[in-house]
Amino acid sequence: MMRLVSSICVLTAGALCALATSTKPSAKPAHKAGAPFCNMSQNGNPADVLTVFLTGNELGALKPCGCSGGQLGGLDRRSAVFNSVCAQRRLIVDTGLFVEGDGEQDLIKFNIIVQAFSLLGYDLVNLTQKDIEIAKNLGLLDSIGSVLNVISSMSITDVNVPAGFTKKFLLNKEVVAVTVAALDVRSQMSDSVFCPLSSDLRSVDILILNTRDTAAIDKIAKMGIVDCIIVPAESDEPQIVGDPNEKPLVVSAGRFGKYVGRLQITSDETGDKLQFSFSAIPVTEDLPQEESLLELYKDYQQFVRQANLLEKQPRFVLPNGLEYTGSESCKLCHDYEYEKWGTKAHAHAYGTLEKVGSQYDPECVLCHVVGMEYESGFVSEERAGHLKNVGCENCHGPGSEHISTLGEAKTTEPRSDCTDCHTPETSGDYAGNERSFLEKIVHWREPKTGGNVK
């Protein structure tokens, strides 16, 4: 029986029959500095195991904010996961959706992510319709194709992106062609799409769909030609969806780069069948950082600063003519509270951004200053330095009327709630520990409580 070539088809949302005509080996080098080479068995990667590393749904998450410990993610730490497997035994694939929106900061991130994927040695990147539209608007579509192997199932005028890609490996001394293609279920879902591959190939198909629709998955499963289906993520962690013992194996890729999906491919004892296992690898903060990615993030910070995004931030008008005045203006009547607040971390929140160079990034600055979303709120250190740090008016509301009436008028909305900034992404240990967090910011006289603090 001829088993010299096996074909593993990773179909990122294209037609199976397109593989026979549109896939071809990449001419781009997959190995990058820092990636280990291996012989038939070394580095903990035996010759009978191939690994497909899977990421997707970056949604602009270049790295975790770093405001608390235990956060996952960061492009600069991802290479440590990839390099746990030598270059000849791995395929690195991203399923697309680089950024969440199409604002100016999203466009900067898009460019940075493309460069990061190149530095990380990605073998293949699938471009969603949104990715292609942004790349076209930025004039980057051709340059992306020059530094990365790209595929897409999207049919867009004047865009010629292939639907498939192939890379060959040795598995137990046999050639294995790992093929990645793209399928748009909405427009290409028909029986004719799934025509057989070349008859001299034993194919094992891993299908990455652009939908979680159960009917579509069942239809593909009944065709009996797919061994694994990868569907869009509904959680940050890559997961097995449904019964792990049923065929096809259905998994999701995760979001925000907190984890890397790992699909391992092995042969059974007879060598007649390929077997699959799937797991999620957390990108933890104890993983080593790649210097080139750290430098790239510094470039991103510089681009954000040059774009002057802080001053371009959309701002709402405060109700009833209210204005922010800054914490210093509260000192005259609330001297004890002001002095006590000055010893707490909130009073130095802006400085933590300066230490890491993020003081020009509106996504970071928002939770480290007073009123950035509103007129008269923080704009920049030069224009509104008195509103740096998490101050009185974050929790108590804008103070202009309260001050002008010598305290007769109570402060009102808008006020920030703790959970506006202490989200699961920025403060993973906040939920369930609210009391201990509150104790860290107590600045009022006991036994008075913080009843007037929202």
Question: What pLDDT, in 10s, does the model give residues 198-207?
Answer: 434 455 677 7
Q: How many CB atoms lie within 10 A of CB 150?
A: 25
pLDDT value at position 42? 44
pLDDT value at position 64? 94
Q: How many CB atoms lie within 10 A of CB 427?
A: 21
Question: What pLDDT, in 10s, does the model give residues 29-88?
Answer: 444 545 555 654 444 456 689 999 999 999 999 999 988 888 999 999 999 999 999 999
pLDDT value at position 407? 94
pLDDT value at position 188? 62
pLDDT value at position 283? 98
pLDDT value at position 3? 32
Residue partners of 218: CB distance under 8 A and separation at least 6: none
Distance of CA 203 to the CA centre of its chain: 31
202-208 sheet: strands from edge to edge: 164-171, 174-181, 5-12, 202-208, 226-231, 249-252, 240-241
pLDDT value at position 197? 40
Tokens 């199976």, residue?
16
User: Please, what are the domains in the chain?
Assistant: 5-296 (3.60.21.10), 315-439 (1.10.1130.10)
Taking the CA atoms of 13, 257, 428 and 397 in sequence, report the sign of the dihedral they define: negative
Alpha-carbon distance of 181 to 86, in angstroms, equals 23
Alpha-helix runs per DSSP H in 104-172: 104-119, 129-138, 141-147
For residue 192, give the 3-state DSSP assignment.
helix
pLDDT value at position 244? 87
pLDDT value at position 60? 97
User: Helices 291-306 and 104-119: crossing angle, nearest 10°?
Assistant: 160
DSSP strand pairing (274-282 vs 259-267):
antiparallel
Ranges of the chain with pLDDT below 50: 1-9, 11-27, 29-31, 33, 40-44, 191-201, 449-451, 454
Q: Dihedral of the CA atoms 104, 108, 111, 115 (nearest 10)?
A: -170
